[in-house]
Copies of this chain bind each other. A is one copy, B any other.
Amino acid sequence: MTLFKKHNLILTKALEEIEKRGYYSPYFEIPSSKVYGEGVKEASVVSFKAQLNNKFVIKGLESDKYIGKEVSPYGFDLGITYPSVKADKLVADSKTAMNQWKKLSLDERTGICLEILDRINKRSFEIANAVMHTTGQPYMMSFQAGGPHAQDRGLEAVSYTYRQLSKIPTNARFEKPIGKDKPPIVQNKKLVVAPKGISLIITCSTFPTWNSYSGLFASLIAGNPVIYKPHRNGILPIALTVQTAREVLEENGIDANVVSMIISDDRSETQGLVKNKNVKIIDFTGSTEFGDWLENNAPQANVYTEKAGVNCLVIDNFDDLKGMSRNVSMSLSLYSSQMCTAPQNIFIPKDGIVSNGEKVSFDEVAKLICGSVEKLLSVEERAVEILGAIQNPDICKRVDEAGSLGEVLLASKSIKHPMFENATVKTPVVIKVSSKDKNLFHNEHFGPVILLIETESREDSLTVWQETIELHGAITAGVYSSDEAYIEKTEDIAIEEKVNLSVNLTGHILMNHSAAFTDFHATGDNKAANCALSNDNFVSGRYAVVTIKRDA
């Protein structure tokens, strides 16, 4: 049985689901031994420990030089080193591999990609450990977002790319009538999907797999070879991914260099790679500064970026304040607000709001939110499973200095992790600022720094919010209001500024949540991101079609 047939059910379902955008998640999100196999979790811990302070070997990517200085946010050095192969060699090897890869049929490439996803899925526990100890995510999130949910995003990209390419016939017959008594003009045409070239994926330190599998699989299905350039503190999850992909490629008689990885301590080498004429696609998640630089300095490539955004939440007159504060407290606490989808700016009218016909002051709303955060994080054992660890010292510094921004409504506390004594765990700091102090909230304070912003009025909340997105972009937005007319205004702004909007969430789902097959991650049309995961635009620039025509 071909790999395409083996995985055909999952592809068929995925192709249906991208037209529904409802719920679909074929890779099981619970770290259950029933699904993933007895002892697999335990074995993953053993293999993680064995990796520590060792060389990470990837067949066919050997090097004389092994480097790596990853530090776990849970308080220890990983000590793992990775092969540092020269950029020039990687480019040459990728080009060679592309010549074989692009000649496979769409179904053949798709079968192999689905097998890679399946095999990555089977390593979800290993990836969970790797994600946890590079990003600082709590364990459950590391498993889910780093594993099955990232795999869902990969499959989603497979589906969008497959759908587009499957609509391009490989052969066409041109038959033009030219009059009753004359034979028609006939030509035969061959339509060849040609990959753009090398696809470079530059990953971030917080969601290395989740943010990169869309680009990985979209590029691969379209025939491009991929070179990963992982963040210096997020190599292990990518190394596992690259290793798995290469194994599957090799097993199927394909040059494994279709997927490779650059690990370099020479900045000029990676900068050169970004501008290399053979690199025709770049996917990037990270800082606005570098994302903007990429967009302007790699003219030979199509550049897909997700950068910093300033996510805002508007609190208007709303009846279920308990539901609101419970939901928001989780939004602010989950992975210590180190999600690119977490709200940072919360706009509340300075004269307060109305809830169930009663006036609730700004301070009372603030107290509800801060109280919910405190309650949520009151038990340390539970808190660490929500907060995870702080990814890097810059974020710690930002939290420590947040008091200079305004009145501290809720101070950050350091929490001792029961299992990792050197882990850096911090609860969110909540600060009160005025909507007039735009310099304070018109930029991203990445990490658990939350601003409750006093606006002049309900209307001013909308104005300030819109201005913030227009100038700085956002991945998400939220509103709480019991006034449908107000919600409509909010929706109009969301549509105008192209930001996804969560309305009145009080249940399990947070505005942070972004799930494949239902939530387009970012809209791709404001300053926070120039692409969305995944849609037709995310995949259509990864190939060209060359037509070869002959008289019949």
Which residue from B20, B194, B532 sits with its C-beta under 8 Å from A495? B194
Q: Among A168, A523, A549, find the residue whose CB has the most chain B CB atoms closer than 10 A.
A: A549
Stretch in A150-158, A183-191, A329-337, A340-348 touching the partner: A183-191
A504 at the binding interface (Cβ < 8 Å): yes
Q: Is A22 touching B545 in the complex (CB atoms < 8 A)?
A: no
- CB–CB B185/A549 < 8 A: no
Interface residues of A in 4-50 (CB under 8 A from B): 18-23, 25
Chain A 517-552 per-residue mask, 1 if CB under 8 angstroms from chain B, else 0: 011100111000000100111001100111111110
A540 touches B535 (CB 8 A): yes
A307 cross-chain contacts in B, Cβ below 8 A: none
| Contact (A546, B498) CB under 8 Å given A185-B507, A518-B174 | yes
Given contacts A22-B172, A23-B176, A507-B185, contact A523 B537 (CB under 8 A): no
Chain A interface residue count, CB cutoff 8 Å, equals: 65
Chain A residues 471-526 with CB under 8 Å of chain B are 491, 494-496, 498-509, 515, 518-520, 523-525
Contacts A189-B518, A540-B535, A544-B524 given; indicate if A549 touches B501 (C-beta within 8 A).
yes
B21 touches A172 (CB 8 A): yes
A375 within 8 A of B: no
Residues of A245-299 at the interface with B, using a CB-CB cut-off of 8 Å, are 295-296, 299
Residue A180 lies at the interface, judged by CB distance under 8 Å to chain B:
no
A357 to chain B, nearest CB (A): 23
Contact A520 B545 (CB under 8 A): yes
Contact between chains at B548 and A503 (CB < 8 Å)? yes
Q: Known contacts A495-B194, A525-B196; is A189 also within 8 Å of B21 by CB? A: yes
A536 and B501 contacting across the interface, CB-CB below 8 Å: no
Q: Are B174 and A525 within 8 A (Cβ)?
A: no
Chain A residues within 8 Å of B, Cβ to Cβ = 18-23, 25, 164, 167-169, 172-176, 178, 185, 187, 189-192, 194, 196, 295-296, 299, 491, 494-496, 498-509, 515, 518-520, 523-525, 532, 535-537, 540-541, 544-551
Given contact pairs A185-B509, A498-B544, enumerate 10 new A-B contacts (beta carbons under 8 Å).
Answer: A21-B172, A22-B174, A22-B175, A196-B525, A503-B550, A505-B550, A507-B551, A520-B545, A520-B547, A536-B536
